[in-house]
Amino acid sequence: MSKRFFEGAQHAARYAVTRPTYPPELMTKIINFLSMKYKNVFDYAADIGCGSGQSTELLSPYFQKVYGYDVSENQLKEAKKKNKLSNIEYKVSSNNAIPHENKSLCLITAAQAAHWFDLKEFYSEVHRTLKPMGVLAVYEVVKPEDGNARSGSIAASMKFQKRNPETKEDNEDKTATF
């Protein structure tokens, strides 16, 4: 039996306050990459394992609708409490059952969450729900004191290179670019 972390109300409240956010440059990089594939307005994005919504909120300016999904109701309560954006919707869902129609999402993100996923099931759902030329972006926070020790660790550990030939590591700033 596996233990689920981040689900208690007190833990979720602390997490919402202390969890670092992501730099705006990260979203700019993801959106620029997505812009090479889609010339029109972006419609739907899903942030899988969204927790208390730090990454989900950063997607809001670029999409008509952003969905934040997490297995923890308490994490989602925290996300909803602070959400002031009308185009974000938070719902309980797991990474292996993304509640969207086939080929309906421009972008799927997983920020600091993919290491909890059953990757085979997650990739199956990503393949099912992403539009043609849609983008999967998986990223994490690396503490400055870690330096380059973890640079590209997600891309390496999840073997994106093998699954998607467009996946690469951006050696300029040591972030995985998708």
Domain count for the chain, please give it: 1
- Which residue, among 156, 150, 158, 104, has the nearest Cα to 127 in the 3D structure? 104
Residue 100: give the domain boundaries: 9-17+35-139
Q: Quick check: is 98 in a domain?
A: yes
- pLDDT for residue 22 is more than 90: no
Per-residue model confidence (pLDDT) at position 156: 46
According to the model, what pLDDT value does residue 18 have? 58
Residue 83 lies in a domain: yes
Mean pLDDT check: name the lowest of 24-28, 75-79, 113-117: 113-117
Tell me the per-residue pLDDT of 29-41, one tens digit each, with 9 for 90 and over: 999 999 998 876 7
Tell which residue, 85, 5, 151, has the closest CA to residue 68.
Answer: 85
Average confidence score pLDDT of the chain: 77
Token couple for 35: 């812009």
pLDDT at residue number 65: 98
Please check whether residue 51 lies inside any domain of the structure. yes
Q: Is residue 64 part of a domain?
A: yes
Domain annotation covers residue 30: no
Q: What is the CATH number of the domain that holds 122?
A: 3.40.50.150
- Domain assignment of residue 153, yes or no: no
Task: State pTM to two decimals.
Answer: 0.76
Q: Answer yes or no: is 84 within a domain.
A: yes
Most confident of 4-8, 88-92, 149-153: 88-92
The reply to whether 23 falls in a domain is: no
